[in-house]
Amino acid sequence: MERMRIIVAATNDLATDQRLKRHCGTLNAEGYDILLTGRLLPGSLPLDDRPYKTRRVKHWFNKGFLFYAETNARLFVFLLFTSFDILNSNDLDTLPACYLASRLKRKPLVYDSHEYFTEVPELGNRKLVKRTWEKIESSIFPKLRNIITVNQHIAGAYYAKYGKEIHIVRNLPERIVIKGPDSLEAYGIPGDKKAVILQGSGINRDRGAEEAIDAISQVDNAVLIIAGSGDMIPALTQRVAEKHLRDKVIFIPLMPYSRLMGLTRLCDAGLSLDRDTSLNYRYSLPNKLFDYIMAGIPVVASPLPEVRKIVEGYGTGVLIRNHAPEEIAEKINTVLYIKPKTKWKGALDKAAGELNWDHEKHKLLDIYNLLRKTGS
């Protein structure tokens, strides 16, 4: 039987988006022919070997209206002249091109909303831009048949807004044996101190990084590792210098996922400190939460609804009451010194055994296998 072809469209950096990698790998293993198309940034890491085709596009514009206009224009032309059986659009910024191409070619479209796009904090003070995205969403969303998102709260928000049933496919990591160096010194980090990590490829405003820096100054014999990239990195670097905390805060640039997990497993705690400043953050369920669990380290986290369900439900860490540095420092001290990593092992092992891609991927396969049978 000829393999059905799925084009997966995103504006993300393909090297760091683990959700796209898992989805495409799973569909490829199920017998689909996958082409993943995304963005190539000046600082993008090389792609690792993958069993499916990839396409990375270097843009003339990398932000603002011109970026989104260029993205959708070029994506639409590419889709118009490329054959596919199913089209997958990731997030609202690829949806206009994908929806139009799917209608013109009369092919099914799967929309995967990684976040509550119209409520991201970057749109909070940009009323005209926000209204534009809301108009785009409201003109297309009610016409969609196959919609995926990452958790129940976002699905509920979309249902309340549009009355559409949403499939939930969480961002759970693969169950892997994490390999790598056996000491922090291999990463240029002192091995004689406790290590607290804040990881992510989107360390942006309201992610709690500033408060984490202020908090670590109140934790003895410990360093904070900020591993990844994001808009806030320059400001955070300046903050560390101004507060004379270079011996307490270490910045690790973007690295391949396997190496990042090798670093994470050597740490003593992980931070997930998103602030409740927008509906998108309030309803978020950060990837790093599951990465910490898979790496076997307890988490200090914000009490966001979806995060609370995991942390309290499985007993994998502690929740802060507020973002005061003193509060965060108290919770870090609790994890490091009052209840160290070894005492969390049972809960973390149980959570890692259940919160992994092997237990989640059938939800994704059910959607695509139904489309393969019905064609709509």
pLDDT tens-digit map of 139-157: 999 999 999 999 999 999 9
Domains annotated for the chain, with CATH where assigned, are 5-170+360-374 (3.40.50.2000), 184-354 (3.40.50.2000)
Calpha distance 207→274 (Å, rounded): 4
- pLDDT value at residue 24: 98
What would the pLDDT profile of 16-31 be if each residue is shown by its tens digit?
899 999 999 999 999 9
The 3-state DSSP class for residue 319 equals strand
Calpha distance 32→4 (Å, rounded): 5
pLDDT band at 94 (very low <50, low <70, confident <90, very high): very high
The token pair at 185 is: 């010194």
- pLDDT value at residue 1: 53
Calpha distance 331→149 (Å, rounded): 31
Q: State the average pLDDT over residues 258-275.
A: 95
Q: What percent of the chain has pLDDT over 90?
A: 79
Q: State the average pLDDT over residues 167-176.
A: 94
Do strands 194-200 and 109-113 pair parallel, antiparallel, or not at all (unpaired)? unpaired
- pLDDT value at residue 77: 97
Give the Å distances, CA to CA, from 345 to 268, 339, 342, 350.
Answer: 12, 11, 5, 9
What would the pLDDT profile of 218-250 be if each residue is shown by its tens digit?
999 999 999 999 889 999 999 999 999 999 999
- CB neighbourhood size of 246 (10 A): 11
The token pair at 252 is: 């690790």
- pLDDT value at residue 349: 96
What would the pLDDT profile of 283-337 be if each residue is shown by its tens digit?
999 999 999 999 999 999 999 999 999 999 999 999 999 999 999 999 999 999 9
Q: Let me know: does 231 contact 249? Beta carbons within 8 Å.
A: no
Using a cut of 0.85, tell me whether the model's pTM lies above it: yes
